[in-house]
Amino acid sequence: MNSLVTDAQKAGERVGLTFDRITIDGGVPLRGRIEVRGAKNLVTKAMVASLLGESSSLLRGVPDISDVRVVRGLLEVHGVKVSEGTEPGDLILDPSNVVTAHMADIDAHAGSSRIPILFCGPLLHQLGEAFIPDLGGCRIGDRPIDFHLDALRRFGAVVDKLPSGIRITAPNGLHGAHIELPYPSVGATEQVLLTATRAEGVTELRNAAIEPEIMDLIAILQKMGAIISVEPNRVIFIEGVDKLEGYTHRAIFDRNEAASWASAALATGGDVFVGGAKQEHMMTFLNVFRKVGGKFDIYEDGIRFYHPGCALKPVVIETDVHPGFMTDWQQPLVIALTQAEGQSIVHETVYENRFGFTDALIEMGADITVHKHGLEGGDRRVPRRDLEQAAVVVGPTPLHGADVVVPDLRGGFSHLIAALTAEGRSTVSNVGIISRGYENLAAKLEALGARFVLEG
């Protein structure tokens, strides 16, 4: 648990978040309006993409979260000048003086982030070499980087594993490759896109991820001068170009944060307007939200999520890659399912260890059983995977306050929702890690009427 606390403290410090505990007096419905800005899963990759350009880029709608600070620090140690623009959330990224960074500097800025692996393709094009330290991230299951390294080798890179990390070079430059992913991984797709755009020749990527954040990254690369064709059946062709220019782009909204606040509204019996949320990229979530019994109204400037005022209904959820139900959505929604009448089942098919957060929920009174090898049978839409798990949630069960420790980003926000839902007082520790993906957390809780105290 000490490593988790260290990660959280580092994450919090990067955004000026000095507290590590929050005490919540629950049982109060969340009501009010909050705003979401650019998606964590897009803005950090868009910042890396600026390395590929020969002129400055302007990225708009950037949230003030620790993952953004991590990438900014990594860009700056590589010589990229990063400055704020005229509007809040604007970042100007000037890559005109890119240099090789020392492994110690990279490690110091990376912390627990896995983002350095995505620097490799752009740095190989700019400098002919790249260094990455040991990689961390949320402890939600195995996230191997072997595919990233294998893909870079396919492009012509040479990978040398050192005691302090990994050195990657491209003595003969990078060339197009034919790559088929065993699973439509978002990170692997990003790696191929960022590497292939300036590789000589054509790259064919099969079984690619097609999440909205991937499409937004492709839009950015096209603005920079890339030639990328998205074909049916998860096939992407990238024709390498000699050079790319900077871009101006407003990031897609953070659908994960929007879904988290929607789940909080439902679990607490509240009414939350999420400004900046868009229907198009949340349709799968909205369908499940409605099946549970939640209500929502679509507006031009956001989505209102609210409790129906009557009993919630149980559902069966299968997480999947886009356009399926996101794995990041299931954890916050599980809190609402503890208040539904009957048995809900959540099949987690993306990560093999994403139900660790339920231990604290059980301590708070939830009736949840985790099946570590999944459940057989049933009318399944998503093909069964060897690594999958399942959680059976029986409700409604009143939750009571408890002292809990945040295990990871989405699980941590789920613990906050549980504490807000529960009767009595809860203390949630290790909350700094939540700053990786949620901007202005305290201000948003205050705006929604939550009763809480931050502690150092």
CA pair distance 116, 165, nearest whole angstrom:
11
**pLDDT surpassing 90 at residue 205:** yes
**pLDDT surpassing 90 at residue 58:** yes
β-pairing, 389-395 vs 342-348, is: antiparallel
How far does CA 347 lie from the centroid of its chain? Answer: 19
**pLDDT surpassing 60 at residue 199:** yes
Task: Tell me the per-residue pLDDT of 383-426, one tens digit each, with 9 for 90 and over.
Answer: 888 889 999 999 999 999 999 988 777 788 999 999 999 999 99
pLDDT-derived band of residue 76, with 50, 70 and 90 as boundaries?
Answer: very high
Contacts of 363 (CB under 8 A, 6+ apart): 402, 404
- What pLDDT is recorded for position 137? 43
- What pLDDT is recorded for position 456? 63
> Across the chain, what does the average pLDDT equal?
90
Whether omega before 396 lies within 30 degrees of 0, making that bond cis, reads yes
Phi, then psi, of 51 in degrees rounded to 5:
-60, -25
Which 8-state DSSP code applies to residue 253? B
More confident residue, 82 or 113: 82
**pLDDT surpassing 90 at residue 454:** no
pLDDT-derived band of residue 20, with 50, 70 and 90 as boundaries?
Answer: confident
What sections of 146-211 are H helices per DSSP?
146-154, 186-196
Which 8-state DSSP code applies to residue 28? -
- What pLDDT is recorded for position 144? 61
**pLDDT surpassing 50 at residue 378:** yes
What are the percentages of helix, strand and coil residues in the chain, rounded to 5?
A: 35, 25, 40
- What pLDDT is recorded for position 354? 87
Active site residues: 138
Q: What b/e string do you get for 115-145 counting C-beta neighbours within 10 Å, with b at 16 or more? A: bbbbbbbbbbbbbebbbbbebebbbbbeeeb
- What pLDDT is recorded for position 142? 43
- What pLDDT is recorded for position 1? 43
Tokens 């070079």 belong to residue: 169
Q: What mean pLDDT is predicted for residues 231-245? A: 97
* pLDDT over 90 percentage in the chain: 75
CA pair distance 376, 37, nearest whole angstrom:
40
* pLDDT over 70 percentage in the chain: 91
**pLDDT surpassing 70 at residue 106:** yes
Task: Tell me the per-residue pLDDT of 278-305, one tens digit each, with 9 for 90 and over.
Answer: 999 999 999 999 999 999 999 999 999 9
The pTM is what? Answer: 0.91
pLDDT-derived band of residue 112, with 50, 70 and 90 as boundaries?
Answer: low
CA pair distance 35, 398, nearest whole angstrom:
30
Task: Tell me the per-residue pLDDT of 305-345, one tens digit each, with 9 for 90 and over.
Answer: 999 999 999 999 999 999 999 999 999 999 999 999 999 99
- What pLDDT is recorded for position 422? 98
